[in-house]
Amino acid sequence: MAVTGLVEYLGTTSVTGWAYDPEYPNARLEITVRVREQFLASGFADIDRKDLLSAGMGDGKHGFNIDISDTAISAEDAAQLVVHGICGAEIGELARAMVAPERIVDLTSNPDEPASDLRQRPAFILGPARSGTSAMTLALLASGAYLGTGEGHLLPLAHALLGTVDTYYRRRAEDPHTLLGQVPNEAFQKLIRRSFVRLAADLFPTRRWLDKTPTVEMVRASVLMKELWPNARFIFMKRRVIENVLSRQRKFPQDDTERHYSDWLAVMSAWLTVREQLGSAALEVEHRQLVLEPDAVVASIAKFLQLPQDAADRFRGYLIERRPEQTDSEFGAVYSLERLGLEEAAVIRLRSVCDPIMSALGYSYGESYFS
């Protein structure tokens, strides 16, 4: 299996990302940076990253940050940088995920700026934690078709801000003789929308970018995301509560079972309230099908996202080589509710709150997975 990795940020002063060899999960890969054929700098992928650990990449210490500030290269040269990961005799060129390393330090709103963007085609990866969102995100980044990062957690702020502004105005009468009355609610709403549309345009200079935020807040914000980016696509990763909770127990043993299934319930419930509004812009992907029938699922996703053939091949290669389930030694196993090891009272509580969602999605509590 070849060296894999991503260049997540690339500029005139530094190159950052991650590199990993699945055959040697604890190896620290050497990273080399060249512009065309000229060697610029090197270092090692040995930075500890929780997102890589969560994705099942060894101990997670596979991030890198290579300083190239002494090379004095131009922005044009930076666009031509080539980054390789080296593990023994294995050498792999790392795909680029993003080319905008500078932090955004200022935002202004112009009335002429649009409150939505038809040019960009973002993909939003949604779903509860431990449902395959990380695998899907890393595979799409590895395809080379999308820019983005392993984790998002920024865009739900747009939904929260709009809600806060709306609540503030509803609680106060808009007296035209006050300053508040001279700045209507609609003006603030447009300000926030324009700011996020511009922010995405500044962060992602290409048409395709992705966001993975596996939280209930992001699911609730998905309808707004479609309003801001009408050509957006949404992939919702879903998984039965039993296997989801078991995966969470293995990954996050410090949290209790009720917290695990409560988070699953919140995300799945929120999805059922928004999916009809997203319509054909949304695709549901069952985690179990991704594990057992990756070729069929990959073909469906590639068609849904209209991936170019070379990108679709890289996407498929990543998912086939790196299966999404990383914490269960029994690959693709199905478990009954008893496997959670809960007392009878706890089982009753779980079923009382999860039954409606389990039924709506056609899940069972036994080893048949679906009803």
d(CA 160, CA 212): 17
Of residues 346, 351, 344, 349, the one with CA closest to residue 366: 351
Per-residue pLDDT, 104:
60
Provide the residue type at 225 as one letter: M
Assess contact for 81 and 9: CB atoms under 8 A.
no
The type of residue at 356 is P
Given a cut of 50, the residues of the chain with pLDDT beneath it are 99-101
The pLDDT of residue 180: 83
> So what's the pLDDT on residue 154?
95
pLDDT of the residue at 101:
46
Report the pLDDT value the prediction gives residue 371, as an integer from 0 to 100.
Answer: 86
What is this structure's pTM?
0.75
Closest CA to 276 of 240, 241, 226, 326: 226
Which pLDDT value is given to residue 141?
A: 87
Q: Is residue 221 classed as helix, strand or coil in its secondary structure?
A: helix
CA dist., res. 356 & res. 354, Å (int):
6
Strands 30-35 and 38-44, sheet pairing: antiparallel
pLDDT single digits (tens) 111-168: 778 899 999 999 999 999 999 998 899 889 888 888 888 789 999 999 999 999 999 9
Residue 144's SS3 state is: coil
Question: DSSP 3-state assignment of 196?
Answer: helix
What domains can be seen in the chain, in order of their start residue? 4-96 (2.60.40), 123-334 (3.40.50.300)
Tell the residue number behind the tokens 């990763």, with chain if given: 237
Q: Are 9 and 16 in contact (CB under 8 A)?
A: yes
At 66 the pLDDT is 93
pLDDT at 131: 92
Reported in sequence order, the residue ranges of the chain that DSSP labels E, i.e. its strands, are 4-10, 14-20, 30-35, 38-44, 47-48, 61-67, 81-87, 90-93, 95-96, 123-126, 210-212, 233-238, 282-286
- What pLDDT, on the 0 to 100 scale, is given for residue 326? 55
Predicted confidence at residue 9, as pLDDT, reads: 78
HSE (side-chain half, CA atoms, 13 Å) at 182? 3
